[in-house]
A and B are shown apart, each in its own frame.
Chain A
Amino acid sequence: MPEKPKVAFYWCASCGGCEEAVVDLAEDILGVVNAVDIVLWPVAMDFKKKDIEARPDKSITVSFINGAIRTTEQEEWVRLLRRKSQFVISFGACANSGGIPGLANQFTREQILKFSYEDSPSVSNEAKTRPQASCQDEGHALSLPTLHNVVRSLDQVIEVEYTLPGCPPTPKLIAGAVTALLSGKLPPKGTVLSPDIALCEECPRKDSKPADLALAEFKRPHSSPIDPEKCLLAQGFTCMGPATRSGCEALCVKGNMPCTGCFGPTSRVRDQGAKYVSSVVSNIVPKDEAGIDAVLAGIPDPIGTFYRYGMPKSILRRKVDLS
């Protein structure tokens, strides 16, 4: 019996949703488990770093890595996995472009630490103690990973072969990727494993979008009723669909929520947020400054809206600390 392909799953700065997505394969996961040997899966199985270190280089067929790179430990792990793996798949929005953790790039590391350990209303820390990279406790030397200055996407740290988009990737896309890998029918390196066309293509509300958007106001889902049939952008919700890669089958829209852009841009676009702003703002009705400002007041958090998943990979990338 030939040896089964070896698969690793690893998580970095992420919420765990991508792990859930793997579990969401439901009974399909049994087929996967049968076909492969899982050599690392911290969320479900107990392996140690030294187990991986002990493996020969390139002995793992594929590593699925989710989460952004925030800490020194995460960087160490992904470099290790890169060395041991034939393929690395960047799994989910955080690994692909920084995701929600990437929004931390709006602040400097010092701002983050100060807020988290000193200023946050729920913190009581009069001594202003902060985590240290190393310390002594009852004669034992302890160490902790430290935060990098910025959050990076996986491909800003190591080379990746393929990208599975989504927050999280859908079971269908995961199954497709795994099948392709197991069957050896691999697309060209660097491929994002979902269609390279924007979401409107597969949106059930596409036909309800008017030729002239004429946006007179922006609304937010928590404070305005949402028509379940009509194009969300036409209703004034900042649906990111036109600037977002398809492949999710318009899951959020089908759930009557606007697309927030988790699949990232198409291959032609360098900066998803900038592209979206350029498109949508051009379709605002008022042409005078005061009128435009009034409409834009409906978007109180532009970075959180337009760069929700992609700040580290955008042209904005990070806050620069000039102090």
Chain B
Amino acid sequence: MDALLQFIFSGMTVGAVYALVALGFTIIYNASDVVNFAQGEFVMLGGMITVFAHQAGLPLPLAAVLAILATAALGVALNKLAIEPARGAPVVSLIIITIGASILIRGATQLIFDKQLHRFPSFSGDDPIRVMGATILPQSLWVIGGAVAVFVALWLFFTRTLTGKAVLATANNRVAAQLVGINTGWVMTLSFGLSAAIGALAGVLVTPITLVSYDVGVALALKGFAAAMLGGMGNPKGALLGGLLLGLLEALTAGYLSSQYKDAVAFIVILGVLFVMPQGIFGHKSTERV
């Protein structure tokens, strides 16, 4: 029982990170129908930039803010320089462009920074908190709390602000959104910036636990995608649920089955979801028009 609770805690922690990555996918996918395979690199940059800004003498909170802003700027640049020029290109081309971007960012990161593993101090110390026989790190609470805060903030943004509603309208029907005067180009810029910032925030929160190096992005992107797909592509609620579910599945697999194959869970989930219910938990079926 204690062991189970322990697995649930660690599952919730990684699950919260997957949920944030999945949310990043969802925001960009909704605004532009692009699946951004560089989403994991945003998480990596959040961690790396914070590490090096902190080493350079910046206080940790300031370093974290800098990392999030810089990553958001990179997200905007990615949209302007690589996605917008390829507008209307087939899906295969867009897949290759974003994978290219992820390799490019990784290559640049190892040149600008280094190839070492890094971490910075936890926000509230490293003394585990005891809960019913299991323990949880204070930083895990930061991660889970951060994810919840992001989801609440986004929910308010999308339902209460005009800008948020414009993004939703664009996701729903781009042409119609343009007709009612929404600047869809600007919505795309916003989406890339926002989802890069969310990714970077996830990186900032989780680095004290999992450490960061230039190449952690690939696995995160793939798992975030699995989570997004599990919940139903394009659905923020699904991203949250899918992320947590995937995190729990991984932790339970590592605990009870095989720690070697815990990383396989995400891909078995992907294949399973695609075979059995390609629309995911919250997705819905669409009819092709001819």
The reply to whether chain A is a binding partner of chain B is: no
Residues of B whose CB lies within 8 Å of any CB of A are none
